[in-house]
Amino acid sequence: MDSRFIQKEVDLKKRMRHLKIFQKDIKETFVRSSGPGGQNINKVSTCVILKHIPTEIQVKCQSERTQGLNRYRARYLLVAKIEKQRKAEKERAIQQVEKKKRQNRKRPKFLKERILQGKHKQSEKKSSRRKICSRDVDKDI
């Protein structure tokens, strides 16, 4: 094997360890690939399907002619997808915290006054739409 490929595999394993993705959590399946390739495609199961059980993320790789390279690429894609999902979850949590901060922030005085003016106008509109009763007329007189 090529020393660069071995180094890439070592780096991928470090990345998996860092993200706490364990081999026991990954279900690996081999299937025959489709597409051009002739006899090799018909005889060897080079397509790799990986499923990360805790997150239910599934990856399929059949871009290379050898099973070993497809296994590496599938693992790489799986780690990238899991990393992307975790990053999105972190960002979502941060956004929720920031939203709560904005909601609880004290409003400036001029903004409070403007909101109150809008509420007064709305209440005047509503009171002008009421039916006129005899007791309302008596109060005005």
Cα separation, 89 vs 94, whole angstroms: 9
pLDDT digits (tens, 9 = 90+) for 64-97: 888 888 999 999 999 999 999 999 999 999 999 9
3-state secondary structure of 51: strand
Question: Rounded to whole angstroms, what are the CA distances from 124 to 30, 48, 117, 127, 136?
Answer: 73, 70, 11, 5, 15
pTM: 0.67
- CA distance linking residue 96 with residue 91, whole number of Å: 9
Give, in degrees to the nearest 5, the angle at Cα 125 between 124 and 131.
100
34 located within any domain: yes
Residue 140: per-residue pLDDT: 53
Whether pLDDT at 19 is above 70: yes
Read off the CATH number of the domain in which 86 is found. Answer: 3.30.160.20
How many domains does the chain divide into?
1
Q: Is residue 136 part of a domain?
A: no
Which residue intervals of the chain are DSSP H helices? 3-19, 39-43, 67-104, 109-129, 134-140
Sign of torsion over alpha carbons 96, 54, 60, 24 = positive
- Decide if 42 is inside a domain: yes
- Domain assignment of residue 132, yes or no: no
Interval 89-134: pLDDT, tens: 999 999 999 999 998 988 888 998 999 999 999 999 998 888 777 6
Q: What's residue 41's pLDDT?
A: 67
Note whether residue 72 is domain-resident. Answer: yes
